[in-house]
Every structure is written in C-alpha cells, then in structure tokens.
Amino acid sequence: MSLISPFSRRLYLRIWLAVVGGVLVFAFAVGLAWRWAAEHNAQNLQQPPAREIVITDASGKPVLQGLATRERREPGEPSDYSIETESGDKLQMQLSARGPRPDGRGGPPRDVAFWLRPPFGFIWMLAAVGIAVTIGVFPIIRKLLQRLENLQRSVKRFGEGDLKVRVRTQGHDEVADLARQFNAAASRIETLVDSHKSLLANASHELRSPLTRIRMGMELMQDGVPSPASRAEILRNITELDQLVDEILLASRLDAGATNIGTLEPVDLLGLSAEECMRVDAELNAHTDGLAATDLDVQGISKLLRRAVRNLLENARRYSLGEITLDLSREGDHAVIRVSDHGPGVPVDQRERIFEPFYRLPGASERSGGVGLGLALVRSIAERHHGSVHCEGRADGASGACFVLRLPVGLV
C-alpha cells in the first residue's frame, strides 16, 4: 500500500490548497484587523482620553488650567470638550473646523499618527496583509509550475532534434508522471532511430556483397551464356538478396511495433515444429507425456512463430557437423523449444552478441550463408510474444550449441 498522500499525486489539488491557504490566511488577518479596529474605536468612544489643557494670557500667566475630555461626536460636527479645572469647576468648550488656509488648503496639518488611526490604519493593515499573502503564495505556485516549464523546454529541444534530452523527474504528481512517460517515449524513439540508422548502414554493406558477386558473374559470362556453375552462383546470390530484403523489412516492422503483421490465433507448436524439422532433416523430440493435445498450443502470430523456429533450425544446419535435434516440452506456463546442433558452439562471451543485428561470430564467412539477421529476428519475435530466447551449451556436454525459445502458453 502506498504511503504517499493523494494530495502529493494531484497537482491541481496542491495549487488549490495553496490558493485556499492564502485566502484563509488573508481572511484570518482581516478578521484580526477588523477586531482590533473595532475594539480600538469602542475604547475611544467609551473612555475618551483626558488631556491636560493650559490657557495663558499675553504675559504667559495661566488663565485656565485643567483636564479636557473630548466628547463623542459625528464626523463633520464640531468637537466638544469637557474641562474640569483644578478648583473643580466644569466648563464646556467647542472647536469647529476653521476656514481655508492662506495657501488654499483647508484643515489643520495631519501627522503620521493620523494615518495610522482608524479607519486608515485598518486599510493600511489590510493592504499589508494582502501584499504579504501575495508574496508568500507566489513561490509555492512558482515551484509547482516550474517543472512544467522545464518539461516544455525539453519537449521543444527534443522536437528540434536533440534525441538525448531527458527531463528530471521530481515528486509523484501528474507532472512527474508526465516527465517519466516523456523520458520513456524519448528513449524508445532514440533506440528506434539508432536501430534504423544501424540497419540502413549494415544493410547497405550486406546488399553490396551479393550485388558485387552477381556483377562479377555477369562479367565472366562468355558469349552471354552462363556456365552451370555461374548460373548456380547467380541464383544463390539472388536468393540471398531476396532473403536479406525480406528480413530487413520484417525487422523494421517489428522494431516499429507494427500491428498489421498478422492475426493472433492459437498456434499448434507441435505441428509447426514437425513441418519445419522435415525441411532441414532435423530430429523432433516431443515430450508430451501427461499433456493434453492443446497443452503445447500458444496464442500468437503463426507466420512469425514459424519464422522463429525456421531461423533456429537453419542456423543450426548452417554450422552443425552432425544431426540437429528439436526438443519440444512444457515447463510451467511456457512452451519450450530447444534446438541443439553439433557445430563449433558459441563462446560464452558471445552468446548475447549473436542476437544483435548483422553480428557474426569472429571468423565466420559471408559465403557460409546468412546475413546476421536471423537470430535478431528470433529475439524480436520472442519479445513480441512476451517470450525469450537465449543460447547455452548442450546439456550432454558435447560440442555444439543449444538455442532455447520460451513462449508463454495463453493470451499475448
């Protein structure tokens, strides 16, 4: 069970939470500011502050001295003050706004404290809180969306031809999943492009060899009539060209993941193996003890599976110095085909490389037949059917090689 929170997997939820969090902080700050302003105003209205007042004459002698308290008034009305003198007398004083000043501006000058008192202090506090929330939410949104910008730049570079560009994956949300899918698709495309480049380069070399031999055979003809040996050589080279073109086309379609190669259907491996063994004079050993008639059937594309078995048998016939054996058995959920020969065998360090396109073992001659695509096609076909193929030594310890093809029994 995953311990990752669903909120970390959903980018839209994280953005929504960031916005909601900012709004909640702003609303909380507004509430505090409102409460502070209300309490401040209530305190001023209920208990007006008392101020000491001293009125002197022209000589500086105090005429009136006492405590002045401003009474409640509405905006625009004169200010009323209650004055209590030192002798205990109570007086009333009213101040009205004076007329325009000589410079044309009305009203007394206002200090900084005036702008910090309600209602202006409340407005300034709201503005300060709004700016703080805006600045605080920005880096959160920026961090969430910066990965999208990185992905956008990488996709642009990839579209411009840089097939090696990859996106750094961070997190577990939609953007991280999109980055992983982009990296996987980019790797797949890069592999296909490199494979096609290698295929074209090697195919041009392989096509040149039989064409050169055909050209030489034509030049050696006397009076335009080929000798039986020249005719056989030309036919052999034409057959090799036809096989090469056919295998190149099939390899390209398999690498590209073509879906129109054939129809999935139940394939009788026992009957298919018997037919192919007859073509190359190979011995078939079918281990069917305790198995039903359909236990060796696999779901696949018949012509591809036939090509895989045929390539294994023809490869064994090409290098074997004795009989060839095909063993067919059922191991768990897989049907297993083992093709054994009595040839020189394959060195351990070469048993993976021989499945690379156009790879030949050191010392192998072009005239020995084959173009180096047969085993590569077998692996591609096996992987297309969710199976596998590998090379190993013979089980009896004799010289030679054994190729093992495993295919799952069931739907592909």
> For residues 173 and 181, what is the distance between their CA atoms, to the nearest angstrom?
12
Q: Is the pLDDT of residue 42 over 70?
A: no
Q: What is the pLDDT of residues 44-101, one digit of tens each?
A: 555 566 777 777 877 778 777 777 777 656 555 677 777 777 777 777 777 765 555 5
Q: Is the pLDDT of residue 121 over 80?
A: no
> For residues 392 and 400, what is the distance between their CA atoms, to the nearest angstrom?
9
**Stretch 314-329: mean pLDDT:** 89
Please give the pLDDT value at position 170. 77
Give the range among 131-135, 261-265, 297-301 with minimum mean pLDDT.
131-135
How far is CA 352 from each of CA 154, 172, 324, rounded to the nearest angstrom? 34, 36, 22
Please give the pLDDT value at position 367. 46
Please give the pLDDT value at position 92. 75
Question: What is the pTM assigned to this prediction?
Answer: 0.52
Q: What is the pLDDT of residues 340-365, one digit of tens each?
A: 998 888 888 889 988 887 777 765 55
Please give the pLDDT value at position 257. 63
Query: Of all residues in the chain, what percent carry a pLDDT higher than 70?
Result: 70
Residues in the chain, overall count: 412
Residue given tokens 């090509």 in the structure block: 307
What are the structure tokens assigned to 246, written together? 């056919």
Q: Is the pLDDT of residue 412 over 50?
A: no
What are the structure tokens assigned to 145, written together? 């969306």
How far is CA 274 from each of CA 44, 228, 290, 411, rounded to the nearest angstrom? 107, 34, 20, 23
Please give the pLDDT value at position 389. 94
Contact 322, 366 (CB under 8 A): no
Q: Is the pLDDT of residue 140 over 60?
A: yes
> For residues 377 and 357, what is the distance between their CA atoms, to the nearest angstrom?
8
Greater confidence (142 vs 104) lies with 142
| 2-17 core/surface letters (b: 16 or more CB in 10 A; e: else) | eeeeeeebebeebeee
Q: What is the pLDDT of residues 279-305, one digit of tens each?
A: 889 999 988 888 876 788 899 988 889
